[in-house]
């Protein structure tokens, strides 16, 4: 059973329990994602913004940062000699820094910062000291990056982080073994065919998967053996929808006060309002404004443009008539109205769609270990 952190109280309880669990061996899957990184580590799931910020002035006390979706980490010693004494922020803690790096803006960073991403996950989860972690990861170009990722990630690593309950700095050592590095979405296929949410698909039959992420729509045609028959990438995922809504809010003339005059609205705050289900921008009466109208208007344009491209691809390749299933996953699948639109077109929408790839990668780790 995967535990998703839905509130601070639950996260803190789980973090305390995990640290004292006595676990010495964990199996994991890591989906670096575009806007958010997702991981399944043991029976725990974690999702954080894919953002990094190097601590350059080490004389300043940075370790006060604590969050269920961000962390401060210091690499003490280990296999990665180049990281000795390096400190960094990850996730929401990185976004709070003016000089942060967003991994989706430079895909090479997904490989170069793969270890830092994993250590941040382990810090937030508060893993026990001395754990052995077996993990499978995904990458957009394994042919180019697999060896580099394995070189950077595998080994023994000692690091510091802030204990989420006691708020004291704790030191942990982890041994990481990389069991596989797979193309993006391969874990999702494995989960569908061989995991909990199995599709009944013979080797000769086809399924069409639509992965709606932060930056793209990825169409994958695969068969019952898990072989990828064809792929097609459509630019402009949920991040573009959020940007469209933010720009629509910029054009509003209903300024409520001088403090909110000429505000450039943030796509991330738009996303926050959607996730919370309030469709409200901002968290206070000075900036708070409803954006249901903008959401509806922008969604129609965003959806119709991309679903047409989807239809053109699957029909031109003669895949639509042959497909036994249309299946959807990715964070965008859960967007309001999008889920209804997909269901109306006959898509199978899997539970916990944002974590499907990570769940499948964990399954591949188990298979590799013979577990």
Name the 3-class secondary structure at 169: strand
Mean of pLDDT over the chain: 88
**Confidence check: pLDDT of 147 > 90:** yes
The DSSP code for 16 is H
Give bridge partners of residue 169 from the DSSP assignment.
162
Residue 61: name the closest of 195, 199, 169 by CA: 169
Q: Which of 16-20, 125-129, 150-154, 353-357 has the highest mean pLDDT?
A: 150-154
Q: Residue 336 CB: number of other CB atoms within 10 A?
A: 13
**Confidence check: pLDDT of 369 > 80:** yes
Looking at CATH, the fold of the domain delimited by 8-183 is given as: Nucleotidyltransferase; domain 5 (3.30.420)
**Confidence check: pLDDT of 9 > 70:** no
Q: Give pTM, 2 decimals.
A: 0.88
Would you mind telling me the total number of residues written for the chain in this entry?
371
Give domain limits for the chain.
8-183, 197-349
User: According to the model, what pLDDT value does residue 268 have?
Assistant: 83
Query: How far from 232 is each of 143, 173, 313, CA to CA, in Å?
Result: 18, 41, 8
Q: What is the mean pLDDT of residues 74-78?
A: 97
Q: For the sheet with 228-235, list strands across it.
A: 228-235, 216-223, 206-212, 323-329, 348-349
Alpha helices in the chain (DSSP H): 8-19, 92-95, 108-112, 114-125, 142-153, 186-194, 238-250, 267-275, 292-316, 338-344, 356-369
CATH, domain 197-349, list 2.40.30.10, 3.30.420.40, 3.30.1330.10, 3.10.20.740? 3.30.420.40
What pLDDT, in 10s, does the model give residues 15-69? Answer: 777 777 778 899 999 998 778 899 999 988 899 999 999 998 777 666 666 778 8
Give bridge partners of residue 40 from the DSSP assignment.
29, 45
User: According to the model, what pLDDT value does residue 151 have?
Assistant: 97
What pLDDT, in 10s, does the model give residues 339-359? Answer: 999 999 999 988 888 999 999
* Confidence grade of residue 7 (pLDDT, cut at 50, 70, 90): very low
Matching CATH topology for 8-183 and 197-349? yes
Q: Positive or negative CA dihedral for 81, 50, 118, 145? A: negative
What pLDDT, in 10s, does the model give residues 176-228? Answer: 999 999 988 899 999 999 887 678 999 999 999 999 988 889 999 999 999 99
Query: How far from 278 is each of 5, 49, 283, 290, 353, CA to CA, in Å?
Result: 20, 21, 11, 8, 21
**Confidence check: pLDDT of 157 > 50:** yes
Exposure letters 8-37 (e unless 16+ CB within 10 A, then b): eeebbebbeebbeeeeeebbbbbbbbbbbb
């Amino acid at each position: 059973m995967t535990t998703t952190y839905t509130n601070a109280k639950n996260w803190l309880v789980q973090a305390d329990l995990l640290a004292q669990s006595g676990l010495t061996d964990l199996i994991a899957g890591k989906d670096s994602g575009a806007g958010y990184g997702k991981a399944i580590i043991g029976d725990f799931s974690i999702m954080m913004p894919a953002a990094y910020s190097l601590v350059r002035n080490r004389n300043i006390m940075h370790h006060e940062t604590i969050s269920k979706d961000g962390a401060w980490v210091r690499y003490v010693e280990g296999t990665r000699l180049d990281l000795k004494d390096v400190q960094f922020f990850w996730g929401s803690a990185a976004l709070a820094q003016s000089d942060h790096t967003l991994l989706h803006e430079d895909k090479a960073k997904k490989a170069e910062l793969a270890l830092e991403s994993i250590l941040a996950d382990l810090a937030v989860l508060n893993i026990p000291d001395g754990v052995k972690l077996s993990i499978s990861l995904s990458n957009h170009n394994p042919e180019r990056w697999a060896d580099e990722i394995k070189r950077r990630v595998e080994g023994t690593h000692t690091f510091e982080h802030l204990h989420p309950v006691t708020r004291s700095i704790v030191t942990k050592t982890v041994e990481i073994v990389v069991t596989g590095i797979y193309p993006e979405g391969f874990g999702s296929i494995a989960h569908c065919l061989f995991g909990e949410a199995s599709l009944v698909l013979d080797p000769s039959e086809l399924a069409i998967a639509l992965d709606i992420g932060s930056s793209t729509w990825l169409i994958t045609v695969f068969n019952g053996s898990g072989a990828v028959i064809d792929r097609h990438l459509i630019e402009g995922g949920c991040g573009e929808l959020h940007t469209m809504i933010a720009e629509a809010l910029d054009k509003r003339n209903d300024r409520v006060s001088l403090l909110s005059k000429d505000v450039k609205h943030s796509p991330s705050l738009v996303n926050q309002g959607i996730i919370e289900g309030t469709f409200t921008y901002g968290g206070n009466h000075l900036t708070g404004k409803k954006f249901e109208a903008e959401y509806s208007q922008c969604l129609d344009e965003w959806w119709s443009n991309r679903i047409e491209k989807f239809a053109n691809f699957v029909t031109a390749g003669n895949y639509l008539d042959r497909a036994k299933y249309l299946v959807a996953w990715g964070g965008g699948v859960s967007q309001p109205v999008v889920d209804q639109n997909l269901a109306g077109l006959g898509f199978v929408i899997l539970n916990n769609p944002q974590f499907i790839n990570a769940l499948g990668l964990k399954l591949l780790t188990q298979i590799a270990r013979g577990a």
